[in-house]
Structures are given as C-alpha cells and as structure tokens.
C-alpha cells in the first residue's frame, strides 16, 4: 500500500521558493576591503534568478558543468543557487591548487563555462590553452554585474529531478588523481536539512553563520543551503581568511557560529584574547577536516565558546558525525555520534564486522542517502573503496556501545614501530597539550631498527627543547611512542583544504 502524500521532489526548487518568503530582513553579508556588502535573502533570490536567465542566454542547460574559481562571496552564493536551478551542474574548483591541477579538473569535468575572480584569473594564464571544453570565462569582478543586468530573471519551476546532478566536487587528490564526487539534488537537500538538527550543526533562524570553509570544499559544507532554508543570517568572508579580517566581520555582523578547520581557530586565538575586536557574539565553532586538539577545545571553552567537532569526508556531502559531548576538563573529545541519515559499521582486516565495545579498532564504513555510490568517471579503479554497498572511509576508529565514534587515525598515517601501532592523532593531541605548543603534526619516518618511528613537527610559541617535551609526554603516552626527532618549524605544510599535508612532510623529512 502506497502512502497518500504529495509527490514533491527534493530539488533546489525547495530552496528557491523559500528565499525571501520566510527570512524577512535577514542578511547575506560579504566581507570586503572596505565596508561589508549586505543584501537580504529576497534580493539574493532575485539576483540568482537573473543569473539563471543569463545562463540560459549562454545556452547552459541540463547536465552542463559550470565551474567556479572564486572566493566565498555574493556572486558565488548566487551561482550555488542559480546553476542547479538551471538544471546544470556546479563545479567549484579549489583556488589553492596549482594551475596544472585546476586544468586537469576542468578538463575532467568538461566544464563549458568558468566564473573566476579577477584576483585569481592570473593563476590560470599558464594553462588557458590546455582547457579543452571551456567556451567562456566570466571574470566576476569585471563582467558579472553586466551579465545580470542584461538578463531577464527566470522564476520558472526547477525542471531537474531529485536524482539529477547538482554539483561536482573533487577530493584533494593526496594519492593519485583527484576523484570526482557528483552530488544529486536529493542528497544535497537532505544534507542541508540534516545541518538544521539540534544534534548536528544546529543551523537556525536565530543564528548568524560564517562558513570560512570555502565553497570548493564540499559547497562550504552545505551551510549556505542550510542558512537559505532556515533564513539564518549568512556571512561570507570575501577576499581574505586573514585573522584580523575575519575578526572585523565577526564584530560588525555579530557572528554566532563559525565553521572552519582547526588551524583557522588556532590562528584566531590571540584576537579572541585581545581587546582590539569585540568577538563576544561568537557562541560556537563548527570544526571538521581533522581531529581537534583537546587543548584548543579547552581554551575556547574557557572563553565561553563551545566547539562542535564533526567528522566526515567529501564522499559524504561531507558530514558524518557530530560531537557536543563534554570531556573531563577538555570539552568535546571525540567525533560524536552518527548524524540522522548516516549508518556506520566497524570492519576488521578480514572484512568481518566488529563490535561496538569502545575498545576494538577497525576501519569505519558508512552508507546513507548522502553518501557516494561511485566516483564520477574515475581515472583509476576505485572499486576497493566500496564493499557490499558501504563506503570504506580509510579511517580507523573505535565505537562505544552508545554509538560514540573516536577516530584513531587514518590507516595510511599510522606509525608501525617494532611491529606495534602508534596513532599519529593521539600523539599529536598529547604533544599539543604542552603549553608552549601551538600546532603539532606526526608522521612515520623509516628507521633501521624499528622499521618506522614517529617524527613530530611542532610550532611553538616559546622555546621548547626535545628533553622537555619528552618528559612532558612520559606522563601522557607509552614511553616507546615518544619521538626521537622533534623538528621546530615556523609553519607546518598544509593541503589545499587546510589539513596537515603529511605526504609532503614525509617527503621533506624522511
């Protein structure tokens, strides 16, 4: 027996029709070098309708890929709304990649049009003649406003079906070519709705949300869509991630919720403790991308700011778990429980499912309506990433009987020393607890006697000696975990998405 409910597809039409209808005077703000640019959700919806009309004039239609190479700002948000409404596919490209990597992605995605910031377009000059499918490049700062002015707004219903593609994002490609993850309208709407749940990201009409994570990083974690659905204020940082620029925006727009990788909030600490900016509006930091050092959680907690620590990956749209649990003196100390639409399991080396006993470690596997079923046109066999309809994440974890997940490490980042495993994540957390340490990254390096030993790269605020750190660690980890090599550095190499670039670290120090 079928239920007698209306058949309303889960598409961008649901977002489009809410813009301006349920948000009142709520604001969309973009930071600039001068005064922030402000508009209402209704104005944003009207501009995205004009952009949709402009795309039609450019003969962009069903399934066409429209690429972006841009910062977080008003036009990028309008592209997020207009491209899927035009039944086309948004292809945001990471602005921190090399020109060759950008060209590879644009060719692999077969993007027909590229919208790029004027300040970034020069990065593409060396590879412009390598772009095989791009028919037109729109320089946002120079052409975008005229493009909208010359177009008629298109408010017609979105023709895309809920299983049609909405966006194509690429993994960071730390091993081999980047892999394309093709999101559907259905998966994106469901993921955005899940971000509004209290035990998830808790995006609501009462919040002012600033996703510092870029649109090219899984659609800014879908937070702009969640803000559009709820009518929350949305603040986009514009041209810079520099701490003072972000602090100025937090102060002027009274931001309550910020979202970024941990390194952003490490860089912001001095400004939260100083008197230059009034940052008292901030209530919660949404952090993902890598495990959050416990001392960082504690320090923000002492400032009256909670941290919601999530785990996920591009292949999951990207959110998988969320933690607001409070640990002894530290705050959220694990990756939390699965979000409502995510199923988890632990699997051993033999493929057998493992118990959730809080001790047994296995590979974390996931499935759900917002989880990838296969990659877009993979350039190499990726079948080993899937097992019986589950995605193999490559993360090693333990799960408590109540479903609380603790990520132990990436399988490729474990240190196997003398036949025993050392978790780089746990060792990094222990090192970061030292009051002089600002950042710490641990990798395995070859060792003639033990096979591998841990190497620690440390950014310290004050002088730090190897012997002092070793003595500090003796009370926190097994003695044989303590690194013989401590490299004090000014900066730890990071990937294009702000994570520690452990492959690069191994290349430099192995």
Which residue carries 């946002």 as its tokens?
140
Say if residue 187's pLDDT is above 70: yes
**Length in residues, the chain:** 510
Query: Rounded to whole angstroms, how far apart are CA atoms 286 and 310?
Result: 7
**Residue in the structure block whose two tokens are 């209402």:** 40
Active site residue 171: yes
Q: Which of the following is catalytic: 44, 171, 230, 314?
A: 171
Cα–Cα distance for residue pair 230/466, rounded to 1 Å: 51
- In this predicted structure, the answer to whether residue 489 has a pLDDT above a threshold of 50 is yes
* Order of strands, sheet of 180-184, starting from the edge strand that comes earlier in the sequence: 136-139, 113-116, 65-69, 89-92, 165-170, 180-184
The whole-angstrom separation of Cα 477 and Cα 471 is 11
* pLDDT for the residue 269: 94
pLDDT digits (tens, 9 = 90+) for 370-397: 999 999 999 888 899 999 999 999 899 9
Exactly one of 46, 284, 315, 330 is catalytic; which is it? 315
Query: Which of the following is catalytic: 145, 242, 374, 421?
Result: 421
- Residue 315 annotated in active site: yes
* pTM for this predicted structure: 0.87
Q: What is the mean pLDDT of the chain?
A: 92
Q: Classify strands 136-139 and 113-116 as parallel, antiparallel or unpaired.
A: parallel
pLDDT at position 417 over 90? no
H-type helices in 234-356, by residue range? 243-253, 262-273, 294-302
The token pair at 401 is 């009987």
Q: Buried b vs exposed e over 366-389: b needs ≥16 C-beta within 10 Å?
A: bbbebbbeebbeeeeeeeebbeee
Where do we find the tokens 């100025």? 248
Report pLDDT for 334.
85
Nearest Cα neighbor of 22 from 38, 42, 37, 52 is 42
Query: Is 314 annotated as catalytic?
Result: no
pLDDT at 425: 82
Which residue out of 242, 276, 416, 474 is catalytically annotated?
Answer: 416
**Range with the lowest mean pLDDT among 30-44, 284-298, 383-397?**
284-298
| Maximum average pLDDT range among 218-222, 435-439, 446-450, 489-493 | 218-222
Identify which of 151, 7, 21 has the alpha carbon closest to the alpha carbon of residue 86: 151
The least confident of 51-60, 146-155, 460-469 is 460-469
What pLDDT, on the 0 to 100 scale, is given for residue 26? 82
pLDDT, mean of residues 120-129: 93
Q: Report the C-alpha gap between 92 and 188 in whole angstroms.
A: 15
**Residue 35 known to be catalytic:** no
- Percentage of the residues of the chain whose pLDDT score is greater than 90: 70
Residue 411 pLDDT: 75
Average pLDDT over residues 171-186: 83
Categorize the per-residue pLDDT at 329 as very low, low, confident or very high, splitting at 50, 70 and 90. Answer: very low
Q: Which domains are seen in the chain, by residue range? A: 12-287 (3.40.50.12780), 414-509 (3.30.300.30)
- 364-373 average pLDDT score: 98
For residues 450 and 422, the answer to whether their CB atoms sit within 8 Å is no
- Asked if the model's pLDDT at residue 77 lies above 70, the reply is yes
Higher pLDDT, 161 or 433: 161
Residue with the two structure tokens 């079906």: 161
Min mean pLDDT across 50-54, 193-197, 315-319, 322-326 is at 322-326
Q: Is the pLDDT of residue 225 over 90?
A: yes
Q: CA angle 225-56-131, nearest 5°? A: 85
């Amino acid at each position: 027996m079928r239920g007698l409910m209306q058949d309303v597809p889960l598409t961008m039409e649901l977002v489009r029709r809410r813009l301006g209808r349920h948000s009142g005077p709520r604001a969309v703000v973009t930071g600039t070098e001068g005064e922030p640019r402000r508009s209402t959700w209704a104005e944003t919806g009207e501009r995205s309708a004009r952009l949709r009309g402009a795309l039609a004039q450019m003969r962009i239609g069903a399934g066409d890929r429209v690429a972006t190479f841009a910062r977080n700002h008003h036009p990028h948000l309008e592209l997020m709304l207009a491209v899927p409404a035009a039944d086309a596919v948004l292809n945001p490209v990471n602005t921190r990649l090399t020109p060759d990597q950008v060209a590879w992605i644009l060719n692999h995605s077969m993007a027909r049009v590229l919208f790029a910031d004027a300040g970034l377009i020069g990065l593409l000059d060396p590879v412009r003649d390598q772009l095989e499918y791009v028919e037109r490049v729109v320089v946002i700062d120079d052409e975008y406003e005229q493009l909208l002015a010359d177009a008629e707004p298109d408010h017609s219903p979105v023709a895309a079906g809920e299983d049609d593609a909405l966006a194509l994002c690429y993994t960071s490609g730390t091993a081999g070519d980047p892999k394309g993850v093709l999101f559907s309208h259905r998966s994106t709407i469901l993921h955005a709705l899940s971000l509004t749940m209290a035990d998830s990201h808790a995006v609501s009409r009462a919040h002012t949300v600033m996703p510092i994570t870029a649109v090219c990083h899984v659609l800014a974690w879908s937070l702009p869509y969640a803000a559009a659905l709820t009518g929350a204020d949305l603040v986009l940082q514009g041209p810079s991630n520099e701490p003072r620029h972000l602090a100025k925006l937090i102060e002027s727009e009274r931001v309550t919720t910020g979202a970024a990788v941990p390194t952003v909030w490490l860089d912001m600490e001095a400004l939260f403790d100083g008197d230059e900016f009034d940052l008292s509006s901030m209530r919660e930091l949404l952090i993902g991308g890598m495990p959050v050092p416990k001392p960082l959680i504690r320090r923000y907690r002492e400032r009256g700011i909670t941290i919601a620590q999530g785990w996920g990956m591009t292949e999951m749209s990207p959110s998988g778990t969320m933690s607001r649990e409070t640990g002894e003196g530290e705050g959220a100390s694990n990756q939390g429980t699965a979000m409502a639409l995510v199923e988890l399991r632990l699997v051993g080396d033999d493929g057998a499912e493992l118990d959730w006993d809080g001790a047994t470690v296995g590979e974390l596997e996931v499935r759900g309506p917002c989880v990838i079923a296969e990659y877009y046109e993979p350039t190499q066999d990726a079948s080993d990433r899937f097992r019986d309809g589950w995605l193999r994440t490559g993360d090693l974890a333990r799960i408590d009987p109540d479903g609380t997940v603790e990520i132990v490490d990436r399988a490729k980042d474990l240190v196997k020393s003398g036949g025993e495993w050392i978790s780089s994540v746990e060792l990094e957390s222990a090192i970061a607890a030292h009051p002089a340490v600002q950042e710490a990254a641990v990798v395995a390096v070859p060792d003639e006697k033990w096979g591998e030993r841990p190497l620690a790269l440390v950014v310290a605020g004050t002088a730090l000696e190897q012997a002092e750190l070793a003595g500090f660690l003796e009370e926190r980890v097994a003695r044989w975990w303590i690194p013989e090599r401590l490299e004090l550095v000014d900066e730890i190499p990071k990937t294009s998405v702000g994570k520690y670039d452990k492959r690069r670290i191994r290349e430099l120090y192995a």
